[in-house]
Structure 1
Amino acid sequence: MSAEIEEVWRREAPHVLAALLRRGSVLEDCEDAAQEALAAAAAQWPRDEVPRNPRGWLIRVASRRLIDVTRANAARTQREISDATPDVASWSARTGDQDDSLQMLMLCCHPCLSTASSVALTLRAVAGLTTREIAAGLLVPEATAAQRISRAKATLRAHDARFAGIEMAELPPRLHAVRHVLHLIFTTGAAPPSGAAVINQDVVSEAIRLTERLHRALPRDPETSGLLALMLLVQARAAARTRDGMLVPLAEQDRGQWDRDLIARGVSLLEEALPTGPVGPFQLQGAIAAVHATSTTLRSTDWAQIHELYRMLLSVSPSPAAELGAAIALSELRGPLAGLEELQPLLRARPRDHRIHAAMAHLLEAVGDPAAVAAYARAAALTDSIAEQRYLNDRAHQVRRVGPAAP
C-alpha cells in the first residue's frame, strides 16, 4: 500500500467507522467492512488515482460491504446506500469532524474495557494502525495485540456499547479514561519499556495527533489542555535525548536542540488552562515539564518549584512516578544524601523498579560511594529497555574504571 493511501486511511478511518456505527451496527462488523473498503482502495486508487472525496468513497464502499454482510431488506439497503454517500461538506455539517473523533475515542475507552484493551482498540479504530503496527508500538507479540483487540470488541458487544452521544453524567469518567489511555500511548512511545529504541516516534506522533483531536473538540477542558501541553513539552526534548543511538539523560542534553516552538505552545496551553478551574494531574505534570523546558541550564532549574509541584501532584494523584520525581527534586534542593534517604522507603516498597535503582546509583555516585556500581548494574538488570541497559551498564563501567565522583 502506498504512503499516500496509508495517510488518507489514518486520517479518515475514524470518520468511516463513525458513519457505519451511527446506523447501529456493532463495531466488529463495521471494522471488517471498513477494512474491506481499504483493500478496495489499495487495489483501485493506484490505477484510478485517489478520489477527490476519499472519505465519501470509503464510506460508500464500506457501507455496501456492511449491507452485504447484514443482508438487510431491500428498502433499508437503498436507504443506507443513499446515506453513505455524502460529500465532505454535508457530512461535516451533519455530524462534525471533531464530534466523530471524540465519540470514537469515547467508545474505545468505554468503562467496560480494561486499559490494555482500550489502548489497543484506540490505535486500531481511531488511529487506523494495523495489528502488526500496534504490536510493534506497544512492544507485545502480534498475537497479544490481536487478542486485546478481539477481547475489546467482544466486551463492547456483550455490553451493547454503541456509537452514540454521551450523556453529560457519563462525560467526566469517560474523559478521564480517554486521557489516561492517550497518556499511556504517549509514554509507551516516548520511553519504550523494552527494545533498542530510545523513542518510538511513530507511537509518540500518533498519541499527539489523537490528543490534538480531543483538544480541538474540548478546547476549554483544562486537563485535556494539560495533557497536550505535557506531550508537546516532552516531545520538544526528543532531538536531544539520543546521541549516536545512545540515551542522553536530562542533565547531559544539549538544550540548544530543544524545539522552542513546541515549548512555547506547551507553555501557552498551560497558561490558558491553569487559571480556569481545579488543577488536575496532567496540568501539574505539564507544569513540571514546563519548568524543565524553560530552564536554560540544569543549574538554573527552579527545583523548589518542581518539588512543590510534585507535592501537589502526590496530593491529587499519588503514583510511583510522582514519588520518585519528588525524591529526585529533593536531592537537587538539599543534596544527594537527602535524596538517598527519601529513596529508601520507595526501594523497600518497589524493590524491582529499575528507575529507583538508577536514581540511587546516580546519587551514590555523587557522594562518592562505590556502591554506585552495583546499583547501576542492578538497574540495568531490571529493565527490558536495551537503550536503558546500555546507558546504565556504561555508567557502571565508567564508575568502576575511574571511581565515583568526589563528594
Structure 2
Amino acid sequence: MHSWSQPELPDFSAISAHVPQLKLYDSADECIKPVDISGNRVGVYVCGITPYDSTHLGHAATYLTFDLAIRQLRAAGHEVEYVQNITDVDDPLFERAERDGVDWRELGTSQIDLFRSDMEALSVIPPQHYVGAMESVDEVVEMVQELLDAGAAYMLDDEYPDIYASIHATKQFGYESNYDRPTMEELFAERGGDPQREGKRDPLDALIWRAARKGEPSWNAPFGPGRPGWHVECSAIATNRLGASFAIQGGGSDLKFPHHEFSAAHAEAAHGVDRMARHYVHAGMIALDGVKMSKSLGNLVFVSKLTQAGHDPSAIRLGVFAGHYRSDRDWSQEVLTHAERRLALWRSAVRGADDERAALAAAEALATALSEDLDTPSALEVVDEWARKQSEPGEGVTRAGAIIADACDALLGVKLKQQ
C-alpha cells in the first residue's frame, strides 16, 4: 500500500554536527535514555489507524510526536527506516460499515485516503513501508505457525477453533507496560480483549487467529481459515521489515497494554529475542476543553475540518507542540489562537532578523531542546525568545531569518517562509 507524499525538507546539513543524540522516555525501563543507533540505521515502528473514522486531533498528535523524532534523527544524519501499519480488517470497521450501510472495504479505503491527505497537510514524513493488515496476512500466518510450533500458542477445541498466544510463552511478559495483574485484567477487558472466552488457558491470553465466522472475511491457513488478531499483525509487519529487534516501537499511551505488550511478546516468543524494541514510546491523550476526546462523546476535533476552515497546518502543529508529548493535553480555541499568534510572530521575525550568529545559536538551542525527550515547550520558547528580539520585518526572509526558518521546517515541520 502506498503512503503519502514526502514533504519538501530544507537542507539542514550546516548544523547537523550540532544536533545532539536523541533521548526518549522508554516505558519499559521507565527512564529517559539515548535512542540506540546501530550501524547508523534506526528502525521505527508506529502503530497506524483502524480506518473507520476521520483523523482526529488525538490521532494527529501521536503521528506528529513520531514525526518530530524522525526529523531529529534525520537532522543528526541518521538513516531512519519507518514502518506503519493500517488495520484495514477488524471489528470496529465492520461495525461502523454496518451502521452506515456501506461496504467495509469502501469505508476503509475512503478513510485511508482522508488520513493520507491529513498527513500531507500537516507535513508529516511518510513511512517507507505502509502496510495493510490484508496485505500482510501471509506474514501473520507464518508467525502464528511459528508460535504454534514453539508451544507459545494453542488452538481452542471449540466450534470456532481460534488460536491464542499464551502470556507464559516469555519469561518477561509485563516488562513493557510494568502493570500489575489487576491493571492488566482491567485494561484487557476494556481494550478489545476477551477474558471470558471459554477454553482459554489464561484469561489474558491474546487472540492471534480468529477462525472463520459466517459473514466475516477470512483467509486460508494451514491451521484453518480465519483472519489475523490485532497484536500479531503489528508484530509480523514490524519484525519482517525491521528485524526481530529494532530501535523504537511507538503509539498512543492507550496502546501500552495490551497492544504493545502482546506485540512484543509475540515477536520475542517467535524469534527468541529478549526484547523486541529497545524503546517503547507513548504519546499522551488529547482532551477538548478539559474533556477527553472520544467517539462516544462526539467531541472529536478533525484535522480535515480545521484545515478546511482555513487554519494553517503549521499553527495546528504549534498548538499540539505547546504541551509535552507524554502529557495528556488539552485542545481548545484558546490553544489554537495562541498558536496562530505565535506563528505570526515567528514569520514576522524571520523577515527582520539581521544577526546570523544569534540565529545559528537559537537553531542549535532548538535542536538541543528537542533532543531531550522532544521537549517542545522549551523548544518553542527558544524560538519565541529569539523572535521577540528581532527588528521590524522587511519585504522578505533575511539570511539570518532563513537559518531559523530552515531549522523550524526541518525539526518542527513548521513553515515560516510561506505567508
Q: TM-score range by the shorter chain?
A: under 0.3
Larger % of strand: which?
Answer: 2
Larger % of helix: which?
Answer: 1
Higher relative contact order (CA 8 A, sep 6+): 2
Bigger CA radius of gyration: 1
